[in-house]
Structure 1
Amino acid sequence: MTAVEIFPGHVVPRGLGTIPHADVEIYSGLELLRRVVSGEYPAPSIAARINFALVEVGEGRAVFKGMPGARHFNPLGSVHGGWAATVLDSALGCSIHTLLAKGEGYSTVEMKVNYLRPISEKTGVVTCEGKVVSKGRTLAVSEARLTDANGKLLAIGTETCAIFPIANLAAR
């Protein structure tokens, strides 16, 4: 695997790929994501397309950093709302992922985003922090904040995820 620079200053040593499904049976969700952050696993391919990366995890918490650019523009020349939604979705989902037991997977059921400020290529590096609000046996809810380098709030989001045995995902 070849190292890939996701955005200036953030290089992933193992390139792009996915977490091996077999490892989901061996490690908890938090252990898996810590391995992503440490570079033991590759970054997901979407990270290179969107220019963002998982940089920190803790129990019920996930932090991403990203850098929007001209390649993310909508027709009017600002960063498409889908870029912010993707970063929010990742922080929201990964915060829930940190609470999963060995053998569990998850999938987004519902998501809500509020855009508060425009994002441009001049916005620079942004941070998105997701936190779990509630986790039950089969559903979890999280919230996230997307901010610029000065701490200005750009967007907020909430999400509900279904939790299920990873075998249900692999059986498809």
Structure 2
Amino acid sequence: MDTVKGLYDKFNNVDKGLDFELTVHGPGDIEYRTTIAEKHLSSPGVGHGAITAAMMDAVLGTTALTAVYDDGNLVSTVEFKVNYFKPTFLGDKLIGKGEIEFQGKSLICTSAKIFKEETGELVSKALGTFNIYPMEKRGLKKPVKTI
């Protein structure tokens, strides 16, 4: 489990329950995907904003996590602000991508966007701040670095 994806697969039950799929390309470079399903709806055919917010928190946080994980750290959400630009509908395929905006010793800020995969329409945009802390606080061992 010496990877962010390994950690995700072992512990992240919320994202699994919401059908979020994570791909990690490298530090600060991830993608989340989901398809709006019946269980994501708030009214007939319309995706609930909480699903977009949950996906956004995942995109922002995992982007931050990939930047600090190899140093033996985890992150926790301090705050995030989300703008909703377009509604989502049953069957929409969403893709979320993040970027590192700032990284200090104890805080990291990321930004992210979620798009409709088929049309490229921007669904939402967000900015988040995360606390950086050692993974030993959660009983995990620092990952082994490989060449």
- 1:88 matches 2:56: yes
- After TM superposition, list the pairs within 5 Å mapping 1:57-136 onto structure 2: 57-75=25-43, 77-100=45-68, 101-123=70-92, 125-136=93-104
Could you tell me which runs of 5 or more consecutive residues in structure 1 were left unpaired when the two chains were aligned. 1-22
Residues 51-89 of structure 1: CA distance to partner in whole angstroms, max 9, x if unpaired?
A: 111023322122111111121111465211110011111
Q: Give aligned-pair identity as a percent.
A: 23
Richer in strand (by share): 2
Q: Counterpart of 2:125?
A: 156
Number of residues paired by the alignment?
138
User: Given that residues 117 and 153 in structure 1 are in contact (C-alpha distance below 8 angstroms), is that contact kept between their aligned partners in structure 2?
Assistant: yes
Structure 1 vs Structure 2 CA RMSD: 2.2
Residues 116-161 of structure 1: CA distance to partner in whole angstroms, max 9, x if unpaired?
A: 00101132x1100011111111000000110012211001111000
Structure 2 Cα separation of the partners of residues 47 and 107 of structure 1: 15
Residues 80-107 of structure 1: CA distance to partner in whole angstroms, max 9, x if unpaired?
A: 1110011111111111111113421110
- After TM superposition, list the pairs within 5 Å mapping 1:10-25 onto structure 2: none
When normalised by structure 2's length, the TM-score is 0.83
User: Given that residues 64 and 91 in structure 1 are in contact (C-alpha distance below 8 angstroms), is that contact kept between their aligned partners in structure 2?
Assistant: yes
Structure 1 Cα separation of the partners of residues 136 and 38 of structure 2: 40
Structure 1 Cα separation of the partners of residues 97 and 109 of structure 2: 14
Distance 1:47 1:34, change over 3 A: closer
* Deviation for aligned residue 1:35: 4.2
Q: Counterpart of 1:33?
A: 4
Residue aligned with 2:125, SS? strand
Could you tell me which runs of 5 or more consecutive residues in structure 2 were left unpaired when the two chains were aligned. 140-147
